[in-house]
Amino acid sequence: MKTTGGTDDQKRRAGERAAEAVDDGDVVGLGTGSTAAYAIRALGRAVDDGLDVVGVPTSFDSRQLAREVGVPLRALDEVERIDVAIDGADQLDSRLDAIKGGGAAHAREKVVDAAAERFVVVVDPSKTAETLSRSVPVEVLPDARAAVERDIDALGGEPTLRRAERKDGPVVTDNGNVVLDCDFGAIAEPAALAADLAAVPGVVEHGLFVGLADAVYVGTDDGVEVRTRE
């Protein structure tokens, strides 16, 4: 589920600062969520001022917003490279590992973010923590749900089917799958859990983004704190 917290100004500062890192001629992965949306809007203004970029959206929402603000778009299979991806996170730890998937777009986000030469995460301070502890979204083939729930339980997690807020039934991803929000408590070893989840039959993708972020822009009340992977 989506994380609440942080101010609009903090999110705006992070998103706009990340947009400044985009160079003329870049292919840009366009992330999903309220903070990434500020980066997309900033890119739209830069395009109006003459910046030549192409965006690769990660979700229906990022595609729609990019179209509204005038960012030219291509599908992932239509580009030869992604120079930089800008995306948000639901939680980020001290090692720059992240949990994503509050908007149920983490499968496409991970493909785009992992393909990028540089992956920049934009967050407000409420998303940062020493250790990851939020529930991990897991996208699952609908027919495999019960089997996946048993396997996640065996891994020490508590899976909960994500329910839609304005319709009966579960949330359905852009890929036509369902999402299990899986509570593992504090995650001391994200890489190990990521490997375990990836090995479960029926799992399309999980929301642990381990070792992918190159830099993090944390919007604060006074500016932007930049963190890089050591």
**157-179 mean pLDDT:** 93
Contact 210, 229 (CB under 8 A): no
CA distances from 84 to 75, 151, 205, 230 (A): 15, 35, 22, 19
| pTM of the predicted model as reported, rounded to 2 decimal places | 0.93
Residue closest to 82 by CA, chosen among 37, 31, 131:
31
Spell out the alpha helix ranges (H) of the chain. Answer: 8-20, 34-48, 60-69, 106-115, 145-154, 190-198
Contact 79, 27 (CB under 8 A): yes
- Residues labelled catalytic: 109
Per-chain mean pLDDT for the chain: 95
Residues of the chain above pLDDT 70, percent: 97
State the pLDDT confidence band at 2, using cuts at 50, 70 and 90: low
